[in-house]
Structure 1
Amino acid sequence: MMRTGLILCLALTATACAKPPTVIAKGDLSAVRGKQVALLAVPGASGPADQPVMTRLQALGAQPDGGDKPQILIQVAFNNLPANTGVSAGAGAEETPKAWIASPGRSRMGQARPGQSLSIVGLDAATGLPAFQVTATEHRKAVSDKTLARLLDAALPITPPAS
């Protein structure tokens, strides 16, 4: 009986301590509102996050690609991160020096954790410049199918309309 109580207590503590995904965003997601968006992808190669991202952008007010010239092109990258791997802003980025978008995941005991990363960039089709970019990362002991949903909710939150 005491063992069951201890296991339940530890499970609740571990669940309560789970950190939400880390999100770094630049630009304004409202740039898609009322604009025609199209996925910028290699023909015949789609990732598991492509359609969910486009569906979420439409929920945020974007218009689906209607065959005309899109106003915003969307790039989507959904990646598995091995343990001890983070997401860097890269060489030549605005941040100095080599800013981490998400540092490598570690547990409270210092053990390296694998993770996943979802990056979404909206490019203005007329200029080719980013209208917005958002990256959400999460490091957990076990990567599951629910990770994409958590990252999508963190990166592209749907706020209820103002009443």
Structure 2
Amino acid sequence: MRLQGRAHKFGNDINTDYIISGKYKFKTLDMNELAKHVMEDLDPDFYQKIRPGDFIVAGTNFGCGSSREQAPLVIKHARIGAVLAKSFARIFFRNAINTGLPVVECDTDQIEAGDEIVLDLAAGVCENRTRGVTIPVKPLPEVMLRILQDGGLAAHFKKHGGFNFG
């Protein structure tokens, strides 16, 4: 799986309420509508700035907070290609994989806002084309790569009639 887009950089401890504010989560279940408000507490114009395939890049502990699946789903419905961070809250990480949102751990200090990025999940590398550096990413287990390739856990079950990792 190879993804390409621009970096949109955020800091450490980006909690799920920053990803999608609680004031919206209880008004609608329409993920496309919620996606219009992704990251708006940190950057009110974020949704207007992003193009399909762009990346959210962050520091440590991305996705901390609640265990609701809305946060990774909203990011995915905003057409973000992947989230790159130094570390993730573990429940967010699993929810992201299960909903089909690629998330990878890497040294994000070598990425700045606006950088052109190519992420190769299978090879385990992130190429920052703007800065001419290749950043290793923590490899995802084969089972997670298959779930992502199928579009998430529910899509994987529909495609294979259950778990199929052999």
Which entry has the higher C-alpha Rg, 1 or 2? 1
Structure with a larger share of its residues in strand:
1
Q: Common fold, TM-score beyond 0.5?
A: no
Structure with a larger share of its residues in helix:
2
TM-score (norm 1): 0.22
